[in-house]
Chains A and B, each alone.
Chain A
Amino acid sequence: MEFFRKETAIDFMGQRRIAVALTLFVIIASLVLLLTRGLSFGVDFTGGTVIEVGYPQSVELGEVRGKLAEAGFDDAQVQHFGTARDVLIRLAPRGESSSAQLSEEVMTVLEAGDSKVELRRQEFVGPQVGKELTEQGGLAMLYTLIGILIYVALRFEYRFSVGAVAALVHDVIVILGVFSLFRIEFDLTVLAALLAVIGYSLNDTIVVFDRIRENFRKVRKGTAVEVVNLSINQTLSRTIITGLTTMLVLAALYLLGGEVIRSFALALLLGVVVGTYSSIYVASLVALAMGVSKQDLMAVKKEGAVDEGP
């Protein structure tokens, strides 16, 4: 089977004005969302306690909330986690640094209502640790981008490396925007997913760049825009097939991997879509806009060799 029996000739770069407008709109919207609404950070970053309990049958959240409020936990956030039988309880950091006592108390309260309730998971993160994680996460992101900037600049050319990094920054902002829009919890695993997205999107960008470099050297005629267009078309079937297989696996993870891994899979699914878009309309466009041209990528001429005119 082949999706593209013949080489496609879609004029990707012809649509670049629309694409730029769309990209700018999405980025600005994401930034506005992030600034006004922010991210709903998980306990990993804010510090506090999360308790996950399982009931043998479905349970009303109002009931659980009521019981907890009676016992003095009126700040508890209660929500279903995956199924109607699982309940996630979030408590803000308290004065004392210990939490076993806290979860013990919560369990006592819940057991008074239903003796069959079971503690499934309990997490406590001190505020200090949370702060450090936020810092480390930001730094990790920064160092990854710098590492990539250097590698791409060495292997290709600095204009490409700026394009690649711009695409990655775009991906991160857009995914964060979506997380902010739908108020999906941002925890440690989502951070890991975000870094994996950087890896994936970069993969995509490099494949396109690689072809652009090759075509600049091989195709004698045509403008830079035409060469870029040709390269994107030549790699299109690969882009789509790899995207599909990766999404296939991620979909399995999203649907079957359990609640803990769900937001991780979601971030990556988003990342595959956004990353594919950005390698065409951010990375390539930025490189073009910065005036990347044939001469920049010609193989270094051997010393003494002179190009004879026709």
Chain B
Amino acid sequence: MINQYPLWKYVLILAVLLAGLLYALPNLYGEDPAVQVSTLRGAELDSALVDSMQLALREGGVSPKGVEPGQEQVLFRFRDSEEQLRAVELLRPVLGERLVMALNLAPATPDWLQRFNARPMYLGLDLRGGVHFLLEVDMDAALAQAVERYGTEVRTLLRENRVRYLGVQTSSDTVRIRFRDAEELGQARDLIEREFGQLVLEEVEGAELELRGTIGEQEALEIRRFALQQNITTLRNRVNELGVAEPVIQQQGDSRIVVQLPGVQDTVAAKNILGATATLEYRAVDFRGSVEDAVAGRVPVGSRLYQDRNGQPVLLRQQVIVTGDQIVNARSGLDQQGGGPMVSVTLDSRGAKRMLDFTQDNVGNPMAVVFIENRTVTREVDGERVTSTRKVEEVISVATIRGVFGRNFQTTGLDSPREAHELALLLRAGALAAPIDIVEERTVGPSMGKENIDQGFKSVIIGFALVLLYMAFYYKVFGLVANLALALNLVIIVAVLSMLQATLTLPGIAGIVLTVGMAVDANVLIFERIREELRNGNSPQAAIHAGYEKAFSTIADANITTLIAAVVLFSFGTGPIKGFAVTLSIGIITSMFTAIMGTRAVINLIYGGRRVTRLSV
């Protein structure tokens, strides 16, 4: 019997339909206005703090719709934005310096849906408003810094080993050392090879004897990778402090970073924070003074009170041992003896001497690292913008000095490799951050975002409705079946986008609109073929069968070629183009399924397995 589908095909279509509906559903629930309170730099959130926040809200007469405490943050949901804004005022005094607050629109997906991991689509900045930055790490500067450091190191090395040289010069990628005679050059070469294996050495014969060291390819690659990594880490820390909900900080290519801050409007403030300069200091811990007294306001003479990342007070001596610019390198790794995570630090000669002097007298005493950021803060005072610089200081590590050391030392006793990695990055960030430039910047105002989304959806719905009408009018019953498939197609596209959490942008919506237009094509091809078969005098059943059969290869060829275009678009495009390519590709694939298998199933149910004298096509 022709035109009957086996049961499994119906089951498959039904399953896809149900899954599609399930995962598309969260988009219907909308979003709650919410306030998100999070700790800085991933510190843990105290449950007592959450209680006091709730108390403050209750006393102010605001009862949140929901409270969702997490590891590092807590989310308060409200019924409307008025309540949300009142809550902000109520929470502000409770928070203090250690917590940041962000206004947020939290998806109001019900629990039972969340259990299926179903979430609404992720809207791009053009639909929700916000700032987009593309930052480029100055890799030439990063390499130049490295060469500069090698220059300093080579000088020290040669001097310490009493090898006479005429001069050491550094240019963008080369260290040049001039010598009077070949013997000295040879000695120097041996020394440098042993100490700095990463340098590629080359002897240049000329008026003077010269040894040239360049950074090897492997090492250069490593320097670049690290410069990027380190900038991403510092940016992430800073963005966290901005209190932005759902920020995006991503590597793009091998020297660029994308930063997206949804909801942020004040680009100047955002840029000041992203562009803050950081440094750090090693200081002795004042372990004799009483921290309690200091907190109460009686700070011992020659000491200062600091806070660590969890807001705990730490009393440090005012005298600085080593500053960030004296750090040559910091790498995380595993401790040779203990096996635990550690960070190994290398100082330059000036820093090494000071560290040596200090540790000789202080074995067994604790030492701390203070991370300092200079930020430009723009505030509005009496309607005028006032720019001031704010210094943010924070203790990032306290460790006991186990022995006398100078140039190289290790910080152990860290909780996890991740912490070690983070500390190494912070140490480097405070020492030799490679400069970053903003190469692209886009701001979308909130009203604009709202407008875009409204217009976008409106055009999708109207375009969709027009096509539905047209199809029903032109192909009657078959047209209605095609309309069903079209609706299913839309549901599946939305579901897949939600599942992938792909970013939906305005061009993405255009992509959906376009696939709606093109998805019809498959059905038009099939239906026209059926009409043709009927005209040729075939029986209705045979016409249906042949129509689907013959149209298939055409549809497949046409869609595969379009898919080729979409895939190329995806691999080349950035941002908006990518969004378009994603929806287009998804649409092409899902439309093949719904327009061929979906319509066939319904047509078979209607006409299959019985005598039919005419088709409503």
Binding site for B on A (CB under 8 A): 1-2, 6-7, 52, 54, 97-101, 103-104, 118-126, 128-129, 136-137, 139-140, 143-144, 147-148, 151-152, 155, 188-189, 191-192, 195-196, 198-200, 202-203, 206-207, 210-211, 214, 234-235, 237-238, 241-242, 244-253, 255-258, 260-261, 264-265, 268
Contact, CB under 8 Å: B455 / A258: yes
Contact of A265 among B510, B531, B550, B560 (CB under 8 A): B510
List of A residues within 8 angstroms of B463 by Cβ: 248-253
B437 contacts partner chain A, Cβ-Cβ < 8 Å: yes
Check A7–B514 contact: CB distance below 8 A.
Answer: no
CB distance from B277 to the nearest CB of A (A): 15
* Chain A residues positioned under 8 Å from B557 (CB to CB): 155, 206, 210
The stretch from B21-29, B350-358, B520-528, B604-612 touching chain A is: B520-528
Whole-angstrom distance from the CB of B271 to the nearest CB of chain A?
Answer: 5
Question: Considering the chains assembled together, what is the distance between the CA atoms of A136 and B572 in angstroms?
Answer: 6
Instruction: Name the CB-closest residue of B to A141.
Output: B568
- Cα distance A73–B581 in the bound complex, in angstroms: 38
**Pairwise interchain contact B473-A1, C-beta atoms closer than 8 A:** yes
Stretch at the interface among B85-93, B152-160, B412-420, B438-446: B438-446
Bound: A250/B566 CA distance, A: 18
With contact pairs A120-B448, A122-B267, A136-B572 given, residues A99 and B441 touching in the complex (Cβ less than 8 Å):
yes
Taking a contact as CB atoms under 8 Å apart, the answer to whether B535 and A249 are in contact is no
Identify whether the interface residues of B are mostly helix, strand, loop, or mixed.
Answer: helix
Bound-complex Cα distance A250 to B462 (A): 10
B456, closest chain A residue (CB): A257
Answer whether residue B491 sits at the interface, using C-beta atoms and an 8 A cutoff.
no
- With A192-B576, A203-B561, A241-B528 as known contacts, state yes or no: A128 contacts B456, CB within 8 Å: no
Is B532 interfacial (CB-CB < 8 Å)?
Answer: yes
Nearest CB of chain A from residue B37's CB, rounded to whole Å:
28
- A244, B525: Cβ atoms closer than 8 Å: no
A203 touching B518, Cβ below 8 Å? yes
Given A192-B576, A264-B510, answer yes or no on A246-B564 (Cβ-Cβ < 8 Å). Answer: no
Most buried by B among A203, A214, A242, A245: A245
Chain B 559-575 interface mask (CB, 8 Å, partner A; 1/0): 11110111011001101
| Interfacial residues of chain B within 516-566, with CB under 8 A of chain A in the complex | 516-518, 520-521, 524-525, 528, 531-532, 535, 550, 553-554, 557-562, 564-566
A245 with B441, Cβ < 8 A, contacts A188-B577, A252-B459 known: no
**Cα distance A265–B550 when bound, in Å?**
32
Contact A257 B459 (CB under 8 A): yes
Seed contacts A136-B572, A189-B580, A242-B524; 14 additional CB < 8 Å A-B pairs: A6-B535, A99-B441, A128-B439, A148-B561, A148-B565, A192-B581, A202-B565, A244-B470, A248-B517, A250-B514, A260-B506, A261-B455, A261-B456, A264-B510
Chain B nearest CB from A216 CB (Å) reads 15
Assess whether A210 is in contact with B554, with CB atoms less than 8 Å apart.
yes
Cβ of B467 within 8 Å of any chain A Cβ, yes or no, is yes
Q: How far is the CA of A252 from the CA of B456 in the complex (A)?
A: 10
Do B510 and A253 have beta carbons less than 8 Å apart?
yes
- Contact flags (1/0) for B497-514 with A, using CB distance below 8 Å? 000000000110111011
Q: Given A136-B572, A202-B562, A206-B557, answer yes or no on A196-B441 (Cβ-Cβ < 8 Å).
A: no
Residues of B contacting A244 in the complex (Cβ-Cβ under 8 angstroms) = 470
- In the assembled complex, which residues on chain B have CB atoms less than 8 Å from the CB atom of A265? 510
A148 to B559, CA, bound (A): 12
CB <8 Å contact, B470 and A152: no
Which residues of A sit under 8 angstroms from B506, Cβ to Cβ? 257-258, 260-261
Tell me the interface secondary structure of chain A in the complex.
helix
Residue of A nearest to B525 (CB): A238
- Tell me the complex Cα distance, A229–B463, Å: 33
B451 at interface (Cβ–Cβ under 8 A)? Answer: yes
Residues of chain B lying within 8 A (CB to CB) of residue A256: 455, 458-459, 462
Interchain CB contact (< 8 A) of B445 among A119, A188, A211, A237: A119
- Taken together as a complex, chains A and B put the C-alpha atoms of A218 and B253 apart, in Å, by 52
Partner of A54, one of B442, B447, B569: B447
Residues of B within 8 A of A136 (CB): 572-573
Are B455 and A257 interface neighbours, CB within 8 A? yes
Q: List 30 A-B contacts (CB under 8 A).
A: A2-B531, A54-B447, A98-B438, A103-B267, A119-B265, A119-B443, A122-B267, A122-B441, A125-B440, A137-B572, A143-B572, A147-B568, A155-B557, A188-B576, A188-B577, A192-B576, A195-B565, A200-B562, A203-B518, A203-B558, A206-B558, A238-B521, A242-B520, A247-B517, A248-B466, A249-B463, A249-B517, A255-B459, A258-B451, A258-B455
| CA A85 to CA B400, docked complex, whole Å | 66
Question: Are A148 and B558 CB-contacts (below 8 A) given A120-B445, A128-B439, A256-B455?
Answer: no
From A123, which residue of chain B is reached at the shortest CB distance? B442
The reply to whether A248 and B470 contact each other, CB–CB distance below 8 Å, is yes
Chain A residues with Cβ below 8 Å from B511 are 196
Q: Which residues of A contact B569 (CB under 8 A)?
A: 140, 144, 192, 195
Contact B576 A249 (CB under 8 A): no
In whole Å, how far is A152's beta carbon from the nearest beta carbon of chain B? 7
Write out the residue numbers on chain A whose beta carbons fall within 8 Å of the beta carbon of B554.
206-207, 210-211
